């Protein structure tokens, strides 16, 4: 058996179909080791750096094992940040799309009432930050009695952010008979204590991080003073001509300054930092993923765990305060077997920081000389005539899956006593339609949404013009999928 193929794991047709649509052909090392253990119900402790593919390592088996018929949540995933919660929800929804898995994301800065209403419906999995999950538990908004899987993601980051007490409090409210999986880039003593206290004979998996940091990312640095950085950056842009580039700064103020500078220099760019409204942050990530702008200026809010494909260049405009963050930053490039480049701007008083990073990564970062005027002029000529100043729209993996799925809005909901069974029955009564052609049904207060699979959406919309639901013909229209 070739253990790195998705077809080797006896997964259901629905999961394999989704994974194939998402481009999974071979599995990473962490996926190969975690998936069989998770499918057989082992507690697992995984030390794995960013970019190793750990999200799919737990998402694939939990999507396979979840029982669709059950109403109460069966999986709880705890993660440190709002961005990660949203991303994990999307990743799980993609993998479980054809199995009709419903996943809810719970995080702060979104009205808790919206989330409460979502939890009142059938939800198979919950992904959330510890604070917001605790809020919902205190308000008795969700039933945890059927939780079979607990995943603690980015455990060391949650320790750093002071969330572990909340995590432990949540654990004590879960059923004792469950599978627990913990993922962390590092294993501080406190994390080990939690593992020893709340896990049963866990299998320990240690994934070396040499491939993403040493083999697939070309690392360089320039010794440069603060007042020279903007000029050097312009030279780097002309010479490297990246299709997709993240520039990391240490503060919100520096992000704003660099964003405004790039805009003045007529570069398409976005910015991301903790001072922005939550919806703006999520929207920026989605637009960058779609390729609406090639440059994203960000603080370390983006360094940890956010998956964005095909980042060709990472620039540390400011050297990170913590050496661990260097790994997370440059790990945004060189992912999924691709190569990448990481360039750092290092001032004279940051030389010691650079040495510590080299010792920590066991990797020599090569010093570069400033490019010559001739090199910059040649690069600028190519850059200004290339696509780098234009938006190059990328197809998101979710959009690939959605190509054969149509989302329909029905102008009737709970206030009209609409139920999922009413919608299922009406659509199933249409000639040639079966339950297998119908995806997730979401009945809200004043309207309902249903996914039609197999490219049959237009046919269903046409037939529903004359098909009664709940005793009458309803107003129907096609709507777009929500990206966030």
- Give domain limits for the chain: 6-208, 211-397, 404-479
Residue 51 DSSP label: T
Cα–Cα distance for residue pair 345/353, rounded to 1 Å: 12
Q: Structure tokens of 452? A: 């039609």
The pLDDT score that the predictor gives to residue 392 is 64
Cα–Cα distance for residue pair 272/266, rounded to 1 Å: 19
Pairing mode of beta strands 340-346, 366-367? unpaired
Fold entry, domain 404-479:
Alpha-Beta Plaits (3.30.70)
* Residues 154 and 191: beta-carbon distance below 8 Å: no
The pLDDT score that the predictor gives to residue 213 is 47
Residues 6+ apart with CB under 8 A from 32: 3, 4
Cα–Cα distance for residue pair 261/265, rounded to 1 Å: 6
The pLDDT score that the predictor gives to residue 303 is 63
Fold entry, domain 6-208:
Rossmann fold (3.40.50)
Query: Hey, how many other C-beta atoms are within 10 angstroms of the C-beta on 41?
Result: 12
What is the CATH number that goes with domain 211-397? 3.40.50.300
Question: What three-state secondary structure class fits 458?
Answer: helix
Q: Per-residue pLDDT for the chain (484 aa), expressed as one digit of tens each?
A: 445 778 778 899 999 989 988 888 778 889 999 999 999 999 999 998 766 788 999 999 999 999 999 989 999 999 998 888 988 998 999 999 899 999 999 998 888 998 998 898 889 999 999 999 999 999 999 999 999 999 999 998 898 889 999 999 999 999 999 999 999 988 899 999 999 999 999 999 988 754 444 557 889 999 999 999 999 999 999 898 888 899 999 999 999 999 999 999 989 999 998 888 878 888 888 888 888 899 999 998 766 656 777 788 999 999 998 888 888 888 888 765 567 899 999 998 888 889 999 888 888 899 999 988 888 888 888 877 665 556 566 666 666 677 778 889 999 988 888 988 899 899 999 998 888 888 888 888 888 999 898 888 899 999 999 888 988 888 898 887 765 5
Pairing mode of beta strands 245-248, 366-367? unpaired
**Which helix (H) or strand (E) is 263 found in, with range?**
helix 252-264
Of 305, 298, 310, 304, which Cα lies nearest the Cα of 248?
298
Q: What is the largest CA-CA distance in the chain?
A: 76
Question: What three-state secondary structure class fits 76?
Answer: strand
Rounded (to 5) percent helix, strand, coil in the chain: 45, 20, 40
Q: Do domains 211-397 and 404-479 have the same CATH topology?
A: no
Cα–Cα distance for residue pair 249/411, rounded to 1 Å: 47
Please, what's the b/e burial string for 22-31 (b: 16 or more CB within 10 A of its CB; e: otherwise)?
A: bebeebbbbb
> Cα-flanking dihedrals φ and ψ of residue 194, to 5°?
-65, -45
The pLDDT score that the predictor gives to residue 211 is 41
User: Alpha carbon of 481 to those of 190, 215, 386, 406: distances in Å?
Assistant: 41, 38, 32, 8
Cα–Cα distance for residue pair 109/170, rounded to 1 Å: 20
């Amino acid at each position: 058996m070739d253990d790195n193929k998705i077809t080797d794991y006896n997964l259901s047709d629905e999961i394999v179909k989704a994974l194939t649509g998402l481009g999974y052909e071979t599995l990473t090392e962490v996926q190969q080791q975690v998936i069989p253990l998770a499918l057989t119900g082992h507690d697992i402790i995984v030390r794995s750096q960013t970019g190793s593919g750990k999200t799919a390592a737990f998402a694939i088996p939990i999507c396979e094992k979840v029982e669709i018929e059950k109403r109460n949540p069966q999986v709880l995933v705890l993660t440190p940040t709002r961005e990660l919660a949203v991303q994990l929800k999307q990743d799980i929804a993609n993998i479980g799309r054809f199995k009709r898995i419903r996943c809810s994301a719970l995080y702060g800065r979104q009205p808790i009432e919206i989330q409460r209403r979502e939890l009142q419906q059938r939800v198979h999995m919950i992904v959330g930050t510890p604070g917001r999950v605790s809020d919902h538990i205190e308000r008795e908004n969700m039933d945890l009695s059927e939780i079979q899987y607990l995943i603690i993601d980015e455990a060391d980051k949650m320790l750093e952010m002071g969330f572990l007490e909340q995590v432990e409090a949540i654990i004590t409210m879960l059923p004792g008979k469950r599978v627990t999986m913990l993922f962390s880039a590092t294993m501080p003593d406190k994390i080990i204590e939690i593992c020893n206290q709340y896990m049963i004979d866990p299998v320990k998996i240690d994934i070396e991080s040499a491939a993403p940091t040493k083999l697939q990312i070309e690392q360089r640095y320039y010794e440069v003073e603060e007042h020279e950085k903007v000029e050097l950056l312009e030279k780097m842009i002309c010479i490297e001509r990246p299709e997709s580039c993240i520039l990391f700064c240490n503060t919100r103020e520096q992000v704003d300054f660099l964003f405004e500078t790039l805009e003045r220099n007529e570069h398409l760019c976005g910015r991301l930092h903790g001072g922005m409204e939550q919806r703006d942050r999520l929207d920026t990530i989605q637009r960058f993923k779609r390729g609406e702008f090639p440059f994203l200026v960000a603080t370390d809010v983006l360094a940890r765990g956010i998956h964005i494909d095909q980042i060709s260049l990472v620039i540390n405009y400011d050297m990170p305060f913590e050496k661990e963050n260097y790994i997370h930053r440059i790990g945004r490039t060189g992912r999924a077997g691709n190569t990448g480049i990481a360039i750092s701007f290092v001032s004279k008083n940051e030389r010691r920081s650079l040495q510590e990073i080299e010792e920590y990564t066991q990797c020599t970062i090569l010093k570069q000389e400033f490019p010559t005027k001739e090199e910059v002029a040649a690069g600028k000529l190519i850059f200004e005539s290339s696509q780098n100043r234009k938006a190059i729209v990328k197809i998101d993996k979710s959009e690939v899956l959605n190509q054969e799925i149509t989302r329909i809005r029905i102008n009737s909901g709970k206030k009209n006593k609409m139920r999922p069974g009413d919608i299922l029955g009406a659509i199933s009564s249409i000639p040639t339609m079966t339950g297998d052609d119908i995806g997730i049904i979401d009945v809200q207060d004043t309207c309902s949404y249903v996914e039609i699979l197999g490219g049959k959406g237009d046919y269903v919309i046409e037939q529903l013009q004359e098909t009664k639901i709940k005793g009458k013909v309803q107003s129907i229209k096609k709507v777009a999928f929500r990206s966030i």
